[in-house]
Amino acid sequence: MFEDKSQELTPISKLGEFGLIKHLTEHFSLSNASSEVGVGDDAAILSSENKKVVITTDILTEGVHFNLGYVPLKHLGYKAVVVNLSDIAAMNATPTQILVSLAVSNRFPVEALEEIYAGIHTACKKYNVDLVGGDTTSSNSGLVLSITAIGFENEDAIVKRTGAKPNDLLVVTGDLGGAYMGLQILEREHAVYLSNPNMQPEMEGYDYILEKQLKPEARTDIKNILKELDIKPTSMIDISDGLASEILHISDQSKVGFRLYEEKIPMDSLSISTADEMNLNPVMTALSGGEDYELLFTISPNDFDKIKNHPDFTIIGHAVEKEDGNFMVARGSNQLVALTAQGWDAFLNNQSN
Amino acid sequence: MFEDKSQELTPISKLGEFGLIKHLTEHFSLSNASSEVGVGDDAAILSSENKKVVITTDILTEGVHFNLGYVPLKHLGYKAVVVNLSDIAAMNATPTQILVSLAVSNRFPVEALEEIYAGIHTACKKYNVDLVGGDTTSSNSGLVLSITAIGFENEDAIVKRTGAKPNDLLVVTGDLGGAYMGLQILEREHAVYLSNPNMQPEMEGYDYILEKQLKPEARTDIKNILKELDIKPTSMIDISDGLASEILHISDQSKVGFRLYEEKIPMDSLSISTADEMNLNPVMTALSGGEDYELLFTISPNDFDKIKNHPDFTIIGHAVEKEDGNFMVARGSNQLVALTAQGWDAFLNNQSN
C-alpha cells in the first residue's frame, strides 16, 4: 500500500473527523480567481464570472475500479481527480475546482489517506484546480472515493454530445487501448505475485501502457489546440468506457449513425504488441477496453483541412444518417461490423464477486 | 429493506450501468431556470445568473451513517438529500441542484435502488431541487451514497461561519436532541428484534423523534423568514454534529467565545421524556447528539427586538471575547461548564467495528 514500508502508522480515530480533514487539506491553497471560499464552511463559494457552471461527479470503489494490490495510493488519488477533469474537458470547458469525498475503513491508517491526498494534490497542481470541499468518513469495508469537478465556461464554447450531423468527421485524440493493456499486465503480474510472493513482477518494457493505466492524463490541453485551429466540435465525449460505447452515446444523443474505419483507429505499437502477446485482438482493446481518457468528437467536414495533418488528432470515421446505424468498416475489406457497447461496465465486471 | 415484501426482484446486472442510470433518473424533470443540462452528458450545465455558486458534498456509508436493519431505503434517499440541502441553507442560500452518486453491492436488486431514488425524488419535489447528474456503480460490499448540492446566491446575502462578533446573540431554530433520541429508540427496538424476531417493536408514541431521525427536514425556510424580519445573521452553521460542536466551529472561525445558557436550549417534551426513560441527560443529547439539521446563527444585538418572540427562533446565548472561551452556564446557577466537541464522530463511533 505504501512506497515507504518502514514508517509508523497512525489510526484515523486518533485525529477524528475534523482533525483529519484539516490535516489532509492544509497543504492545498486556492489559485483560481473563481474559488472564493474553499474547505472550512458549510459549503464552498465560487464565482461564476458570468459563465456557465459545468459540473460532474464520479465515484470509484475498491475492488471494482481499483485493486490496492497493485495500484499505489498516490496514483489512485491522482487518477480519481483526472477522470473527473476529463469529463469537464469533454464539455470543451476548463476544470477549476474539485470536491473530494472519501469513505475508508479503519484498516487504513492516516498515512494511507496522506498518500491519496498527495496524489490529489499533484493532480490539482498539474491541472491548476482548487480543492474547495469534501467529506471524509469511515466505511465498514474498503475505500470509496467520490469526486465532483467544476468548470466555468462561456456558453458559446461549451460542446455537448448532441450536435453531430451526418457527414461530420469523427476525430479522436492520442491513441487507444493502452490503459486496458496496462491493466492486463498489472493483473497478470499480480496473479503471479499472489501465487508466489517471491517472484519478481515483469513490468519492464511496459512503461507506456502501465502509465496510461495507473497515471492517465485528462486532455484539458485540447480545448486550446482546437481554439487555435479555429475549430468548434459539433459534439464531444471522453473515452472512459471504450471507443464503441462512446460512439454509441454520441449516436444516441445526436441522432446520427457512424462509420468507423478499423484501419484508422490510432494505437501505440506497445499496446498492439502486448495485445498480440496476450492473444487479444488489439482493435477490441481500443473498442471495448476503456479508461483511455482521450477525447472523441465530431467536426464539420468543412474543418477537414484544419485538422488533417495535426499530430494530436486522428480522423477515424464520419457520421451518417441515424437509420444507417453504427458500423465499423473492417480493415482491407468493405465488410461492416456492428458496433456494440461491450465497454467496461462496473456492474458486469463485478458479477463474479 | 422493502415496504412491499412480495415483489419480484431484478439484479442490477440485468440493466447495466447506463441502463440503470437511465431507469433511475427518467422520472426526474428539471424545474429550476438555472438547470440547463441535467443527466446525460459528460457534465451538467448550470446557469449562475450572475450569482455566486454555493456547493457542498456529503458521503453516507452503510453501517456508519445508517443501518438498513431499521432505516427504510426511501427515507435514506430522502435524508441523504436533506443533509446536503441543510449545508446550503446554512450559507443562507437556496439549494437548486443535486448530483447523486451511489455505490452498491450486488446484494441490492434494482428495486432497492428504485426505493432510494423514490426518496430522492420526494426530496427534490419538496425542496424544488433538480437532480442534474451523478454516477451509479457497484461496490464489493455495502451501500455508499455521495451527494453534492448546489445553490446560487447574491454575494451580499451569503452568510459564512466567520462573521460573529462579541455581544452578538446566539440563536437556534426549532428544537434539539430529537433526532438522537429517535436513533436510540430505533436501536433499542432493533436490538429487541434481533434477539427475538417475533417481538413487535414498540414504536408507538415516539413519532416526533422517529421522524426527526428518519426524515429530517432542511431549514430552507429560514432564509425567507430572516429576510422578512430584515435580519442578516453575522455567522451561520447547521447542526449536524451536535450543538456544542457547532458552537465551537463558529468560535474557531469567527475568533470569538460563547456563553450558552443551559435553560434556554429548546427541546421537545418527547425528547426530554425519552431521554429520562433511557437514563440519558437530555441536555447532553442536544449538545452532542447531532443530526438535528436545525440552523445555529449569530445576530447583532441590535436585532434583538426583531426576533425575541418569534416562534421559529430561540436565543440561547451570546458571543464573548475569544480569550473568554466557550462555556455553558448551568441551569439555576452561574456555574460554567466547558463546551467540548463530543459530537457524533463517524470515526469514533466506528472504532468498535
Q: In A11-142, at which residue ranges do the beta strands (DSSP E only) sit? A: 35-37, 44-47, 52-61, 95-104, 130-138
Q: How far apart are CA B81 and CA B100, in angstroms?
A: 9
Quote the distance between the C-alpha of residue B247 and its chain's center. 16
Q: Of 3.90.650.10, 3.40.30.10, 3.20.20.300, 1.10.10.10, which CATH number belongs to A169-349?
A: 3.90.650.10
| Euclidean distance between CA atoms B169 and B316, whole angstroms | 8
Domain segments of chain B: what residues?
13-157, 169-345
Q: How far apart are CA B90 and CA B82, in angstroms?
A: 12
Local confidence band at A344 (pLDDT 50, 70, 90 cut-offs)? very low
CATH 3.40.50.2300, domain A12-157, yes or no: no
Contacts of A132 in chain B (CB under 8 A): 55
Compare all CA atoms of chain B with the CA of A245 and give the residue at the minimum distance.
B18
Comparing CA positions, the residue from A38, A35, A160 lying closest to residue B44 is A160
Q: Is B151 on the interface with A (CB under 8 A)?
A: yes
Residue A119 contacts B where some CB pair is shorter than 8 Å: no
Looking at residue B281, its pLDDT comes to: 93
Contact between chains at A148 and B148 (C-beta distance less than 8 A): yes
pLDDT in tens, A38-86: 887 888 888 888 899 999 999 999 988 899 888 999 999 999 999 999 9
Question: Which residues does B329 contact at the CB level (< 8 Å), separation at least 6?
Answer: B259, B260, B261, B262, B317, B335, B336, B337
Specify the residue for cell string 422517529: B210
Q: Measured between CB atoms, which of B16, B142, B161 is closest to A345?
A: B16
For residue B344, pLDDT beyond 70: no
So what's the ipTM on this one? 0.88
Cell of B246: 457547532
What is the assigned CATH class of domain B13-157? alpha beta
Kindly report the nearest CA distance between residue B118 and chain A, in angstroms: 21
Query: Nearest chain A Cα to B352, which residue?
Result: A106
Mean of per-residue pLDDT scores for chain A: 90
A87/B18 touch (CB, cutoff 8 Å), yes or no: no
CA distance B163 to A37: 14
CB atoms B45 and A61 under 8 Å = no
Give the type of residue at A271: S
Q: Is B263 exposed, middle or buried (0-12, 13-18, 19+ CB in 10 A)?
A: exposed
- How far is residue B312 from each of residues B123, B164, B225, B258, B285, measured CA to CA in Å? 22, 21, 9, 21, 20
Using a CB-CB cut-off of 8 Å, the residues of chain B touching A47 are 52-53
Query: Which secondary structure element, helix H or strand E, spans residue A275, and what is its range?
Result: helix A269-277
Q: Is the Cβ–Cβ distance between B89 and B216 less than 8 Å?
A: no
Cell numbers standing for residue B179: 433526532
CA A13 from chain centre, in angstroms, equals: 32
> Is residue B238 marked as binding?
yes
**Residues of chain B numbered 70-109 and touching chain A (CB < 8 Å):** 87-88, 90-91, 93, 99, 101-103, 106
Sign of CA dihedral A11, A15, A19, A25: negative
Question: Which of A240, A340, A347 best tests the B interface by mutation, with the highest count of B CBs <10 A?
Answer: A347
Per-residue pLDDT at B291 exceeds 80: yes
For residue A261 the three cell numbers come to 474505419
* Lowest-pLDDT range of A237-241, B16-20, B112-116, B342-346: B342-346
Block residue for cell numbers 434556554? B264
CATH 3.90.650.10 matches B169-345: yes
Q: What region does A132 belong to: left with phi over 0, alpha with psi -120 to 50, or beta?
A: alpha
CB contact under 8 Å between A87 and B141, yes or no, is: no
C-alpha A267/C-alpha B36 separation (Å) is 37
Distance CA A352, CA B104 (A): 15
What pLDDT score was predicted for residue B199? 82
Q: Which residue has the cell 415484501?
A: B5
Length of chain B: 353
Residue A40 touches chain B, beta carbons under 8 Å: yes
Which span out of A131-135, B303-307, B336-340 was modeled with the highest average pLDDT? B303-307
Q: For residue range A186-198, what is the model confidence (pLDDT) as tens digits?
A: 999 999 989 888 8
Q: How does residue A291 score in pLDDT terms, banded at 50, 70 and 90?
A: very high
> Are the C-beta atoms of A59 and A150 separated by less than 8 Å?
no
Supply φ then ψ for residue A63, to 5 degrees.
Answer: 85, -15
Q: Is the pLDDT of residue A13 over 80?
A: no
Q: Would an 8 Å CB–CB cutoff place B255 in contact with chain A? A: no
Q: Provide the grid cell at B49.
A: 445568473
User: Which residues share a beta bridge with B56?
Assistant: B149
pLDDT at B348 over 70: no
Task: Please tell me which of the candidates B13, B36, B52 has its beta carbon nearest to residue A45.
Answer: B52
The minimum CA-CA distance between A207 and chain B, rounded to whole Å, is: 29
In this structure, is the dihedral angle defined by the CA atoms of residues A85, A86, A90 and A94, taken in order, positive or negative? positive
Q: Is B281 on the interface with A (CB under 8 A)?
A: no
Alpha-carbon Rg for chain A in angstroms: 21
Confidence band for B313, pLDDT divided at 50, 70 and 90: very high
Give the highest mean pLDDT range of A146-155, B100-109, B137-146. Answer: A146-155
pLDDT in tens, A138-166: 888 789 999 999 999 999 999 999 999 99
Instruction: Check: CB of residue A321 under 8 Å from CB of residue A257.
Output: yes
Instruction: Give, as one character, the DSSP assignment of residue A177.
Output: S
Separation in Å, CA of B273 to nearest CA in chain A: 31
Does B142 sit within 8 Å of A140, measured CB to CB? yes
DSSP secondary structure of B7-18 = S---BGGGTHHH
Identify all chain A residues contacting B138, using CB atoms and an 8 Å cutoff.
Answer: 61, 64, 346-347, 350, 353
Banded model confidence at residue A342, pLDDT cuts 50, 70, 90:
low
